[in-house]
Amino acid sequence: MSRQIFVNLPVKNLDATVAFFTKLGFTFNPQFTDENATCMIIDENIFAMLLVEPFFKTFTRREIADTSKYVEVLNAISVESREAVDKMLSDAIAAGGTEPLPAQDHGWMYSRAFSDIDGHTWEIFYADMSQLP
């Protein structure tokens, strides 16, 4: 059996969040989509469950992090090239996201980060493992 990962994130407005990530090229599994949640497909076995805040709260007794003040998680996604890093970052900015940090260039690895419209941080990176020091 191969494992899957489902990252669960609270969102304020599901329709707006779906529109944001659609502009970045992501798709969604309609089998796991309703008025409370959607399943964003990141890769064959990697998904982000985007849950409206009241529904998200049914899975925890703890408070939802205020992403304007706190970071609850850093989501990192690899892409195929430096150009793909820059493209996803520019698409995120055009869709309403922000860039919280400058680009990081370590020679063998290049990354940029964006905050989505709910304040969740996504790191997009390319790593050339043949150049790993």
**Mean pLDDT, rounded, for 8-13:** 97
Distance in angstroms (rounded) separating the CA atoms of residues 101 and 73: 15
Q: What is the pLDDT of residue 133?
A: 85
Say if 1-58 and 72-133 have the same CATH topology.
yes
**Whole-Å CA distances, 19 to 1, 71, 108:** 33, 23, 33
Tokens, residue 15: 């329709």
Under CATH, domain 72-133 is a member of which superfamily?
Answer: 2,3-Dihydroxybiphenyl 1,2-Dioxygenase, domain 1 (3.10.180.10)
Quick check: 7 and 49 in contact, CB under 8 A?
A: yes
Q: Output the pLDDT for position 28.
A: 98
Q: Where are the beta strands (DSSP E) in 44-117?
A: 46-52, 74-78, 104-105, 109-115
- Return all residues near 65 (Cβ < 8 A) that are at least 6 apart: 71, 72
pLDDT at 1: 83
pLDDT, tens digit (0-9, with 9 covering 90-100), for 76-115: 999 999 999 999 999 999 999 999 999 999 999 999 999 9
Burial class (CB in 10 A: 0-12, 13-18, 19+), 95: middle
Predicted pLDDT of residue 86: 98
Paired tokens of 3 = 């494992």
The DSSP H or E segment spanning 8 is: strand 5-11
| Four-CA torsion 84, 89, 92, 93, nearest 10 degrees | -140
The tens digit of pLDDT for each residue in 24-63 reads 999 999 999 999 999 999 999 999 999 999 999 999 999 9
| pTM of the predicted structure, to 2 decimals | 0.91
Predicted local confidence at residue 132, as pLDDT: 87
Amino acid at 25: G
**For 1-58, which CATH class?**
alpha beta
Which of these, 57, 70, 55, 72, lies nearest to 7 by C-alpha position?
A: 72
pLDDT at 2: 87
Domain layout of the chain by residue ranges: 1-58, 72-133
What is the mean pLDDT of the segment spanning 9-37?
97
